[in-house]
Structure 1
Amino acid sequence: MSITTAVSVLTTASWLAAVALLVVLVVRASKRRTTKGIMTVFVVVVVLALALTTISAGLVFVEPHERGVVISAFSPHGYRETPLNPGLNWIIPYAESVIYYPISKQTYTMSIAHSEGQVQGDDSVAARTSDGQEIFIDASVIFKIDPTQVVDVHIAWQSRYIDDLVRPLTRGVIRDAISQYRVDEVVSTKRFDITQQISDELGNQLNSNGLLLDDFVLRNITFSAEYALSVEQKQIAEQQAQQAKFVVEQKKQEAEQARQVAQGKADAAVIAAEGDAQARLIQAEAEAEALAMIAQALAENPDLLT
């Protein structure tokens, strides 16, 4: 239990005791009984309750993830120029009050999904590319209030810094960045460059308003129905062209295979014919040589014929 909570509990208990004593006093007075001792206790309890109420109004505890802006009736500007830091602080009772601001990270999401972002329904950012195509951007901005500029944020924006600063500023920066690129660049080669450009510009503008950009997330890109249809038709045409090219290449390969088979057969026929011719030539030469040898033998031995 914190000190401020304990003081508040004691203050409440004191006032309850004062009310109870007042009831006892009224009852005893109506019965004409003595109230001198009870009256003294009642006065002491009331004084104690007033003192605790004053202390409770002046004690302020700031959580580690918060900073406090003090609205003061005694300050020339109506507020303290220095925010309250985490821990136990003291303000002037009844003359000053504290407005708390979180300095932890906050996320603001704009999405086409109906229940994903801070706004219910389609909250994606509609933007046009340099070639006139409409696209829809889902994005998240992670930011926090600069602890040193909490007072400035309060003066300029109060609690409206999300709806009146972060949201419109982010949507405008996204549209400006997308308008500098073609649709094919947005969805492919330039996506990282676009994200970096948006982060740099958004960070500068938030910083000038007392906020620190932690990260910008380009979550999703959705095309218009017309462009999505044209992309689908283009993909189908490209697939058909690839299929036709594949069929042509396949036919070329089949024709080459048939030519090679035919060439092989032709070469085999030529080789076979050459082989037959060579065999016949050898056979003829052999027969002629045999006849020559017979003729020589007869010439040398005529008696062989008798």
Structure 2
Amino acid sequence: MIIDKILEFMTMMAWLLFAVLTIIFLVRNTRKYGIKAAIRKLFSFQQLLIALVLIIMLNFLSASLVFVQPHEIGVVVSALSAKGIRNQPIRPGLRWILPLAERTAIYPVFCQTYTMSGKPAEGQHFGDDSIRARTSDGQEVILDCSIIFQIDSEKVVQFHIDWQHRYIRELVRPTVRGVIRTYVSQYTVDEVNSKSRIYMGLTLSGKLRRALSKRGLIVKNFLLRNLAFSSEYSSSVEQKQVALEGEQQKKYEAKQIENLAKGHAKKITIQAKAEADAILLKAKAKAEAHVIRAKAEADALKLLAAVLAKNPDLLTYQHINELPQDVKVMLLPDKTAVILPLPRDMNSGKTLPFSNPFEIPISPQISVKPTGSSATQQQKKKIEN
């Protein structure tokens, strides 16, 4: 690029200097010899002719050198080619062409962005450049979008033949608007509204990629920036949304009440079950206690029976130990341990006297024995023996 610019500058300065020198030469010789003689001397001046040849050669060299930037690619239109154009483009770098017979058309190969928006400052076109499409049920949909693309360097020769530098205005813009309108026309407004923006962007990106790749453009990305509807439809959607939110709120409140009722019922069920389990545990514990007590009593009776079998007088010994302090006389029928208090007077309540305080025969089968401490000790000794 620097060499190209230097050569252009040198060529321009050389032509300017040549023109100034030529004018000075003519003016001087005209004053001395006249105009005709001055012209004859001009063409006979060898130094001036040599300068002219050098300037022409420098101009030829500048026109034959073309520097292609790294982000560009060149198409050579050639009068020497059978099709009027070279079959292969020229790649980035310093390249040679044949001056006067060939010229170069430079195209960018970096990514370009074209935006169509309803806001004047966002798009390439001033004013409202948004896309207005009709759905299958006749509703209007307004879309703002951007497409990112680049020229296919492998197809740039045919791309130049087809579009030259008109491709943005006559290819990209109409194709994007046509594909979007065709896509929207296949759905109702409710279906377009229900589809997510990401899904629509991916679908339209695929359609545009296929449509533009055939014409020499590579679609890098498609951005659906905004999706709007008519004011009537937007108002109806808003009303539906408000009604739907109210219905959802009522369902939520009913669900909360149902959950509270279920929670209360569950709480009552748990409490009733806990009380029933407690009653069952108490009854079970009581029954087990009775069983244990009965078993203990049975074991005690077995042990007592075994002891009594070996020592029958142990029962009489136990009766004597359990006598109260106010018992004075013990009536013992024959072979029967029956204990009775001494007889008392009905009127005075005093104990009746006996002639023999140690033994009073009442009948052949019954005898009365005093139960003082000495008698008790004698009976205990007898049993212990």
Does TM, scored on the shorter chain, surpass 0.5? Answer: yes
AA aligned to 2:149 is F
Distance in 1 (alpha carbons) for counterparts of 2:226 and 2:253: 37
Structure 2 CA distance for aligned equivalents of residues 87 and 246 of structure 1: 70
String of CA shifts for 1:177-231, please: whole Å, max 9, x gaps. Answer: 2233443443444433322221112111111001101001111100111101101
* Of 89, 95, 99, the match for 2:95: 89
Aligned counterpart, 2:14: 14
How far has the Cα of 1:148 moved from its partner?
A: 1.1
Query: Is 1:152 the counterpart of 2:154 in the alignment?
Result: no
How far apart, in 2, do the equivalents of 1:242 and 1:79 lie? Answer: 69
What does residue 228 of structure 1 align with? 234
Counterpart CA distance in 2 for 1:83 and 1:73 is: 15
What is the DSSP-based 3-state SS (H/G/I as helix, E as strand, rest coil) of the residue aligned with 2:32?
coil
**Displacement, 1:86?**
0.9
Q: 1:67-100, CA deviations, whole angstroms, 9 ceiling, x for partnerless residues?
A: 1111111111111111111111111111111111
Once residues 206 and 253 of structure 1 are traced to their aligned partners in structure 2, the CA distance between those partners, rounded to angstroms, is 58
2:214 pairs with 1:208: yes
Shift of 1:131: 4.4
C-alpha distance in 2 between matches for 1:251 and 1:14: 97
Report the CA distance between 1:251 and its aligned residue: 9.4
CA drift at 1:48: 0.9
Counterpart residue number, 2:134: 128
Contact 1:59 1:88 in 2 (8 A): yes
Q: Who is 2:183 aligned against?
A: 177
Structure 1 distance, partners of 2:230, 2:157, is 43
Q: Which region of structure 1 is more displaced relative to structure 2, 155-164 or 127-136?
A: 127-136
Q: How many residues align?
A: 259
Q: Distance in 2 between matches of 1:74 and 1:147?
A: 23
What do residues 146-205 of structure 1 show as CA deviations (whole Å, max 9, x unaligned)? 011111111111111111111111112112222334434434444333222211121111
User: Which consecutive unaligned segments of at least 5 residues does structure 2 have?
Assistant: 266-385
**Using the alignment, how far apart are the partners of 1:91 and 1:13 within structure 2?**
23
SS for the counterpart of 2:206 is helix
Say yes or no: does 1:168 pair with 2:174. Answer: yes
SS of the counterpart of 1:32?
helix
2:170 alignment partner, SS class: helix
Match of 2:25 in 1: 25
| SS in structure 2 of the partner of residue 123 of structure 1 | coil
- 1:68 and 1:245 map into 2 onto residues whose CA distance is 68
Of 34, 48, 56, 1:42 maps to 48
Deviation at 1:107, TM superposition (A): 0.7
Letter in 1 for 2:74: G
Closer/same/farther in 2, CA of residues 190 and 130 from structure 1, 3 Å limit: farther
Q: How far apart, CA to CA, are the structure 1 residues paired with 2:156 and 2:65?
A: 20
The question of whether the paired residues in 2 share the 8 Å contact of 1:65 and 1:104 is answered with yes
Match of 1:121, SS state, is coil
Residues of 2 paired with 1:227 and 1:90: CA distance? 62
Higher RCO, 1 or 2 (CA under 8 Å, sep at least 6)? Answer: 1
| Unmatched runs of 5 consecutive residues or more in structure 1 | 261-306
> Would you tell me which structure has more helix in proportion to its own residues?
1
Counterpart mapping for 1:237-248 below 5 A: 237-241=243-247
Scaled by the length of structure 2, what TM-score is found? 0.60
Cα distance, 1:191–1:31 mapped onto 2, change above 3 Å:
closer
* 1:4 and 2:10 correspond: no
1:54 to 60, 71, 75: 60
Q: 1: distance between equivalents of 2:248 and 2:97?
A: 77
| Superposition CA RMSD, Å | 3.0
What secondary structure does 2:225 align onto?
A: strand
Q: Cα offset for 1:137?
A: 1.1
Q: Which residue of 2 aligns with 1:115?
A: 121
Please name the residue that 2:377 is paired with.
Answer: none
C-alpha spacing 1:76/1:246, structure 2 compared with 1 (3 Å): closer
- Tell me which amino acid in the other structure corresponds to 1:14: A
Identity percentage of aligned residues: 46
Q: CA deviation at 1:249?
A: 8.1
Distance (whole Å) between structure 2 residues aligned to residue 90 and residue 177 of structure 1:
47
SS at match of 2:120: coil
Q: Which amino acid aligns with 2:25?
A: L
Q: Which amino acid aligns with 1:50?
A: I
Task: Return the TM-score normalized by structure 1.
Answer: 0.74
Return closer, same or farther for 1:78/1:246 CA change in 2, 3 Å cut-off.
Answer: closer
The one-letter amino acid of 2:226's match is N
The one-letter code matched in structure 2 to 1:173 is V
**CA distance in 2 between partners of 1:8 and 1:61 (Å):** 12
